[in-house]
């Protein structure tokens, strides 16, 4: 174990010596060769998300493996579930480079990738070929030039349902013009109506999730929560990246446009989760994401109402060992607070 962690630290140092996007591309090419890790998950951490059994609550957020090229390797890293995408109906190159920036001093990342991906067909072929046991979801979005958003979302959903264990609808990326407007009630209602019909017409009913931005006003967030419950969505993912920039950022790339993730996002993402959890009152499951950098952050999201978690930036900075550390810390937190299992801690701060 010690030798493996030393090798992972050396590899991570090498990757971080490269610019952010070339390093990311290289990591994706290397991940299929990752050997399985011994599970360190405490049995008390077993949980469920929308009826899906998970060995522990920590999954990988969308955006890391957009085209499902490294799903097997990522599952072997120790994730309980992996979310591919965001994938769009047609392939598109995304925004011009450079478009991915590490904010090392702030333990953060800024991206303005713009849904760069090889398209729906390529992603589905790879997902269908995965061999490693584990839960794999797909995150769907819109092409930059999409003329009929409802049609494109419904088309993507219908196809993805054939191979994914669950599907997340992304209406909250800041890097596709006009996309976040779909979170407004007048646009969201017809979109959810269409998507729920598509889901319910599928041969097998699979969970349908919605990912929200952390930058919504309280009334907008309340409306999104209410509509998601009204239309029978299975879960909300809270949150995507933020376009805001806290005044305390120190890194040279802090002024780059795009979505900010990592440690500076944590307070905003946690606040959003708490508001939605209070509003939903247990009527819809919640997934916490955004600035979860350590076990304390993870446990705070659990106590705030998240049944499962996703990480991205902390994986970039900490590698697979980050998953192990979080799981060990979560186990200690449950023991300290007298919870027999993770489910007992979900929403503990809401009571």
Active site residues: 173
Nearest 10 degrees: CA dihedral of 330, 216, 268, 235?
Answer: 0
Q: How far apart are CA 102 and CA 107, in angstroms?
A: 8
What percent of the chain is helix, strand and coil (3-state, nearest 5)?
Answer: 45, 15, 40
Are 56 and 17 in contact, with CB atoms under 8 Å apart? Answer: no
CB-CB contact of 33 with 73 (8 Å): yes
Distance (Å, whole) CA 261 – CA 341:
29
Tokens read off for 340: 């027999």
Which of helix, strand or coil describes residue 211?
strand
What gap in Å lies between CA 184 and CA 181, rounded to an integer? 6
**Which pairing describes strands 108-111 and 100-103: parallel, antiparallel, or unpaired?**
antiparallel
CA distances from 285 to 44, 48, 49, 233 (A): 19, 10, 7, 9
- 272 contacts 214 by C-beta, under 8 angstroms: yes
């Amino acid at each position: 174990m010690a030798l493996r962690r030393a090798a992972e630290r050396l590899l991570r140092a090498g990757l971080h010596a490269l610019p952010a996007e070339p390093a990311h591309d290289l990591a994706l090419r290397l991940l299929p060769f990752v050997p399985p890790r011994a599970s360190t998950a405490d049995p008390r951490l077993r949980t469920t998300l929308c009826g899906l059994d998970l060995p522990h609550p920590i999954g990988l957020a969308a955006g890391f493996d957009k085209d499902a090229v490294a799903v097997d390797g990522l599952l072997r890293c120790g994730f309980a579930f992996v979310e591919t995408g965001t994938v769009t109906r047609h392939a598109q190159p995304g925004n011009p480079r450079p478009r991915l920036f590490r904010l090392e001093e702030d333990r953060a990342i800024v991206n303005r990738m713009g849904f760069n991906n090889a398209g729906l067909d390529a992603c589905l072929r790879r997902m269908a070929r995965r061999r490693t046991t584990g839960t794999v979801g797909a995150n769907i979005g819109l092409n930059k030039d999409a003329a009929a958003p409802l049609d494109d979302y419904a088309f993507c959903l219908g196809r993805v349902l054939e191979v994914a264990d669950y599907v997340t609808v992304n209406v909250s990326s800041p890097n596709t013009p006009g996309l976040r407007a779909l979170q407004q009630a007048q646009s969201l209602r017809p979109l959810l109506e269409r998507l729920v019909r598509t889901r319910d017409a599928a041969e097998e009913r699979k969970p349908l999730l919605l990912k929200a931005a952390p930058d919504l006003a309280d009334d907008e967030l309340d409306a999104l929560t209410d509509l998601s419950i009204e239309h029978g969505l299975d879960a909300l993912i809270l949150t995507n990246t933020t376009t805001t920039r806290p005044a305390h950022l120190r890194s040279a790339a802090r002024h780059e446009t795009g979505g900010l993730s990592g440690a500076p996002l944590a307070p905003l993402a946690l606040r959003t989760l708490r508001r939605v959890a209070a509003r939903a009152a247990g009527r819809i499951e919640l997934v916490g994401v955004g600035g979860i950098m350590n076990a304390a952050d993870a446990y705070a999201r659990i106590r705030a109402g998240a049944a499962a978690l996703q990480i991205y930036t902390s994986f970039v900075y900490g590698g697979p060992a980050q998953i192990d550390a979080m799981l060990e810390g979560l186990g200690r937190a449950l023991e300290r607070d007298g919870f027999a299992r993770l489910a007992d801690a979900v929403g503990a701060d809401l009571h």
